[in-house]
Amino acid sequence: MDRWWPDGTETGSRLWQGIFAIAATGCLLGVAQNALVRYGSPKDGLTWRYTPPKLDSLEDVVSSAAAANPAAAAPGGTTPLPPDMNDPLQLGAAAVNGAANIPDVGRPIQVQISKVKALFDAKAGTIIDAREPAEYADGHIPGAVNMPYDQVVTDPERLEKFDAGGKPIIVYCGGGTCELSMNLGFALVNAGQKKVLVYTGGWPEWSTSGYPVAKGATPDGA
């Protein structure tokens, strides 16, 4: 050995042995650590099977609100409340499909594409695109405001000052579980915004559904 330090002296089966030992020890320790925190006290750690984080869906929120207030929602029950003609939100919602208002529950609510399209058609929602400006310029939902999550985390004032015009806010991003739009949804609620909806299908679903799209750096795609 011409150096005092060992380097690259392992060859053949010794090398494979080492690789296997590192992988096996790592895996075992990882599982052991998780088991300790999972069954120890306080109970923490990961479940053995992954379950994706879930926002309440709009349907669930509306039906639980109805359950809390059965008089207003009972089928064929007592007088349904007429929409308030001075409230643009209620008008918008009524124009959508006679559906209930978007409740203000102090947390983001997940919505499906049909609801987004209905609000879009009725111009009853303020749409926010949480992706990067370049992706936004490549294509976005017409009228959507670009608010990249990465930018607003460093500038929370922008969230507080954002004027949704009394309409519900719909946040979307690149689809999947869509961490950007979830994070932005929670950030908006924390900044005091009401009625924040997260459209988790996002751009991939919208752009392949044959619905209108806009290109360019401005909401209407100039």
Interface with other proteins by CB under 8 A: which residues? 2-3, 5-11, 15, 17-19, 21-23, 25-27, 29-31, 33-34, 37, 45-50, 52-53, 131-132, 135, 150, 173-177, 179-180, 203-204
Q: Which is nearer to other proteins, 6 or 210 (CB)?
A: 6
Residues 6+ apart with CB under 8 A from 70: 77
In 3-state terms, what secondary structure has residue 211? coil
Q: How far is the CB of 150 from other proteins (least distance, A)?
A: 6
Query: Tokens standing for 219?
Result: 């909401």
* Residue bearing tokens 């008089």: 71
Query: Tokens standing for 76?
Result: 């064929």
Q: Which phi and psi angles does 182 have, rounded to 5°?
A: -65, -50
Contact 131, 203 (CB under 8 A): yes
Q: How far is the CB of 191 from other proteins (least distance, A)?
A: 20
Q: Which is nearer to other proteins, 147 or 173 (CB)?
A: 173
Q: Which is nearer to other proteins, 150 or 160 (CB)?
A: 150
Residues 6+ apart with CB under 8 A from 188: 108, 128, 159, 162, 169, 171, 196
Label residue 57 exposed, middle or buried (CB < 10 Å: 0-12, 13-18, 19+).
middle
Q: How far is CA 23 from the centre of its chain?
A: 35
Q: How far apart are CA 148 and CA 178, in angstroms?
A: 13
Q: Which is nearer to other proteins, 80 or 176 (CB)?
A: 176
Q: How far is the CB of 60 from other proteins (least distance, A)?
A: 22
Q: How far is the CB of 33 from other proteins (least distance, A)?
A: 7
Q: Which is nearer to other proteins, 54 or 123 (CB)?
A: 54
Q: How far is the CB of 29 from other proteins (least distance, A)?
A: 4
Q: Which is nearer to other proteins, 173 or 197 (CB)?
A: 173
Contact 156, 187 (CB under 8 A): yes
Q: How far is the CB of 133 from other proteins (least distance, A)?
A: 11
